Structure 1
Amino acid sequence: MTDTTEQTFRELVFPYLNHAVRMYETSYATRADIDAAMRFGCGYPSGPLTVLDELGLGVVRDVLAARFAESGDNLHKPADLLDELVAEGRLGKESGRGFYTYADGAVVADDETPSADSAPQLRHEITTVGVVGTGTMASGIVEVFAKSGYDVVFVGRSTEKTDGVVAAITKSLDKAISRGKLDEAGKADVLARLTAATQREALADVDLVVEAIAEDLAVKTELFRDLDRIVKQGAILSTTTSSLPITELAGVTGRPEVVIGMHFFNPAAIMKLVEVVTTELTSPEVDETVRALTAKVGKVAVSCGDRAGFIVNALLFPYLNDAVKVIDEGRGDLEEIDAAIKEKAGFPMGPFALLDVVGNDVSLAIQQELYAEFKEPGFTPAAGLEKVVADGHLGRKAGRGFHDYS
């Protein structure tokens, strides 16, 4: 490993780890949920708090403190909790205690470990699920529920759109058959659970609605106002938004207590993570039901509150933004940075490859949301990210982003 690789790792990954500590110390999410979110949402080999324990809290704290002394950037200032744990001698795996507790190098139960009887239960009966939308995310969500034995009513703007959902699911099921994971009878059972509609009134009797339409607050607000009119009382209304305020969607209904976030990750049929996002008005029974349902359909639920980025995006995109700033300042080569992060951190992709996969326009919009919410100067979108978007270099989908795909 070269000194440059180590330097790149510390410069980009240590602030990400620090941000995770701050998320944990404010009780926004549990240590288990923060770690699970980044493992299952990003494919990282370990969550950030586990990585801190492995690297040593004192090592990370000292590197961050030196960076902060040079940069004055608050994102480099060691989190208060990091200082406290180091002072207490909780230095990580090597000392037997860090964010987790260890015996013979393995994690053991402690006072933060959930008890076996704390698993969430279905407090609302869910037999029929409604999905609004016909895009890739919506199609994946329909498939997830249908394959798990639920009847699914899905609504699109036209028969052509809903036919596209059935075609996408059929293709996925055929692929499963070719791999020996499903047979023709199983495929027929899944397809038989699907009901397509072009009118929202078809959702009147469903027990849960999952909204998966355009990431536009005005469009979603209109939908939730209409769902409030149409869907039976007692049904749960959920949204897959990755960045918009769920509280505002709940506010246009007469039943904010049943409105919740179910942020699936794309492709929904494959990715394991669902961020379950509650507002201050979401009832505990709805929260528990959605977490239990998530587990029942084979996904991993993590819990958090309604603020920009939730867990994954709030940790991921500042790190990606920092990588662009390194290039902006002429302190690195993007190919070398991508390679260094894959080698040292074990991430599936380097930051620039990932930006291009997500879409640089999408990435910029998320970073803008984070800056607007937290008012953190270090979250200011990188000039290089703004430029590639302005130039139309949006990533893989455009044939060019930070890398060239032509």
Structure 2
Amino acid sequence: MTQAEQFTDTLVLPYLNHAVRMYEASYASRGDIDAAMRFGCGYPKGPLTTLDELGLDTVRDALAARYAETGDHLHQPADLLEKLVAEGRTGAKSGRGFYTWAEGAVVADDETPSADDAPQLRHEITSVGVVGTGTMASGIVEVFAKAGYDVVYVGRGEDKVAGVRASIEKSLDKAIARGKLEEAEKAAVLGRLTGATERSALAGVDLVVEAIAEDLEIKKQLFRDLDAICKPGAILATTTSSLPIAECAAVTERPADVIGMHFFNPATIMKLVEVVTTELTGAEVDETVRALCAKVGKVAVSCGDRAGFIVNALLFPYLNDAVTLLESGVADVVELDAAVKEGTGFPMGPFTLLDVVGNDVSLAIQKELFAEFKEPGFKPAASLEQAVAEGRLGRKTGAGFLTY
């Protein structure tokens, strides 16, 4: 095994094992786990498909060897992995693993959703509200307006509201320059926008998506306001990537109407939306939001309300492991990034990705995962803590693990 292959195995095997445990716990379907990592991270294949192609027995043996070496619970082969191997379900080569295979391709089986299962709009959605004026909020406004929805967006001041419209105009002009949009379509999209500085402007919308600061108390106050302002039956959604949605729902008189719609940045380009339900989210609300995602050209995946949802819960422990591997001194940042890209086909190496996301954001998410799952291996790496303490947050500050 080459050194590059060793680096890749060190980082990727625990990620694959964690995906098995996520599926084993019935937190998300196999298809949603795989789609989340493909459309949320740009990975060429999802983790469960990757396992089937590598061979479940091969991965199990490699994990067992690492577990014997490290004693780290995260390297211990998942119980389901052991079970499937014992049953002879070793993946594509045996015709059955997490999926069913024939002639090298996945074929339908009893877990494959049928066309009849496609979600339907159980609530009428004609107008959408968006709270927030940052990059994510502006992107979400554009997504809905392009899809034909009237959008009311609310900011803290006229300058912020004007900034959203200017950002969308700039985006539309770029699309026109690339031949992907006509001037008439631009005018139509802009005609669907209504900016406001008061939340009361949201009284008549059918769905509100909030994209404000990632601070639980600030979000809870917003949901109190939305509960008082919005009409009965309006769906209240949050784009939070890490905060408990149930706590936002709990401050309202309509917890069945509260749901997570975790868009990925930039919202106009990234296809994935994690649709996150609490124990109290209504089934028709869940189905409506999934159907709405499809109508606006997004891929919806379903999961429950816990730290990290699907993508962050699988991605950030892998990134944290990369920092820990760097600390061991086996290679530098550039070598590790290159090895992982070459060995996995991932669009970027772990350190480039950390710098793109922002090391402060990455650290905050990793802390949330460590607090919820109590896994010793999820403890934020010391070098990640140090980078944030020194203000090396990534591309946005000009320096992170790499220099820009």
With the shorter chain as reference, the TM-score category is over 0.9
Alignment of 1:318-333 (within 5 A): 318-333=317-332
Q: Which residue of 2 aligns with 1:54?
A: 53
How far off is 1:243 after superposition?
0.2
Correspondence 1:189-338 to 2 at 5 A? 189-338=188-337
Post-superposition Cα deviations, 1:347-388, rounded to whole Å, max 9, x if no partner, equal 011000000000001000000000000000010000110011
Task: Output the aligned Cα RMSD.
Answer: 0.6
SS at match of 2:33: helix
Identity %: 77
Separation (CA, whole Å) in 2 of partners of 1:116 and 1:194: 34
**Residue deviations 1:276-295, cap 9 Å, x none?**
00000000000000000000
- For 1:98, the equivalent position in structure 2 comes to 97
| Whole-Å separation in 2 of the counterparts to 1:269 and 1:105 | 34
Alignment match, 2:395: 396
Over residues 77-134 of structure 1, what are the superposed CA-to-partner deviations in whole Å (9 max), with x where a residue is unaligned? 0000000010111111111111110111111000100111000000000000000000
Q: Deviations over 1:290-317 (max 9, x none)?
A: 0000000000000000000000000000
Q: Are 1:37 and 2:36 an aligned pair? A: yes
Q: For residue 39 of structure 1, report the CA deviation from its aligned partner.
A: 0.2
* Unpaired stretches in structure 2, ≥5 consecutive residues: none
Measured in 1, the distance between the counterparts of 2:50 and 2:165 equals: 42
Give distance in 1, aligned partners of 2:267 and 2:368. Answer: 23
> Equivalent residue of 2:276, what SS?
strand
Listed one character per residue, the Cα deviations across residues 147-174 of structure 1 (whole Å, up to 9, x for unaligned) are 0000000000011001100011001111
Are positions 1:188 and 2:187 aligned together?
yes
Paired residue secondary structure (1:7)? helix
> What is the aligned residue count?
404
- Once the two structures are TM-superposed, the CA of residue 332 in structure 1 deviates from its matched residue by 2.2
Structure 1: distance between partners of 2:327 and 2:6: 17
Partner of 1:320: helix, strand, or coil? Answer: helix
CA distance in 1, matches of 2:132, 2:344: 37
Question: SS of the residue aligned with 2:130?
Answer: strand
> Which residue of structure 2 lines up, in the alignment, with residue 377 of structure 1?
376
Q: Distance in 2 between matches of 1:329 and 1:166?
A: 48
SS in 2 for 1:303: strand
Within 5 Å, which residues of 2 pair with 1:25-174? 25-174=24-173
Match of 1:176 in 2: 175
Cα deviation, 1:161-198, whole Å, max 9, x if unaligned, reads 01100011001111111111111100000000000000
Alpha-carbon separation, structure 2, partners of 1:105 and 1:337: 31
- Determine if the alignment matches structure 1 residue 358 to structure 2 residue 357: yes
Measured against aligned partners, the alpha-carbon deviations of 1:34-88 in whole angstroms (never above 9, x if no partner) come to 0000000000000000000111111110010010011110100000000001011
Shift of 1:331: 2.3
CA–CA distance in structure 2, aligned partners of residues 381 and 307 of structure 1: 18
Paired with 1:263 and 1:161, the residues of 2 have a C-alpha distance of 22
Q: Partner letter of residue 157 of structure 1?
A: R
Name the aligned partner's letter for residue 298 of structure 2.
K
Structure 2 Cα separation of the partners of residues 404 and 173 of structure 1: 32
Provide the C-alpha distance between the structure 2 equivalents of 1:148 and 1:247, rounded to a whole number of angstroms: 29
Structure 1 moving runs of 4+ over 4 Å: none
Distance of 1:55 and 1:362 partners within structure 2: 32
- Cα distance in 1 for partners of 2:393, 2:201 equals 37
Give 3-state SS (helix, strand or coil) of 1:266's partner.
Answer: coil
Deviation at 1:266, TM superposition (A): 0.2
After superposition, the C-alpha distances for 1:16-45 in whole angstroms (9 at most, x for unaligned) are: 000000000000000000000000000000
Query: What letter corresponds to residue 140 of structure 1 in structure 2?
Result: G
1:330 Cα deviation from its structure 2 partner? 1.8
CA distance in 1, matches of 2:245, 2:56: 35
1:334 CA displacement? 1.4
SS across alignment from 1:232: coil
| Aligned mates of 1:239, 1:275 — CA distance in 2 | 11
Tell me the TM-score normalized by structure 2: 0.99
Aligned-partner SS, 1:213:
coil
Other structure's SS at 1:254 match: coil
Partners of 1:360 and 1:41 lie apart in 2 by 18
Q: Which residue is equivalent to 1:10? A: 9
| Per-residue deviation, 1:138 | 0.2
**Alpha-carbon separation, structure 2, partners of 1:111 and 1:333:** 46
The structural deviation recorded for 1:5 is 1.0
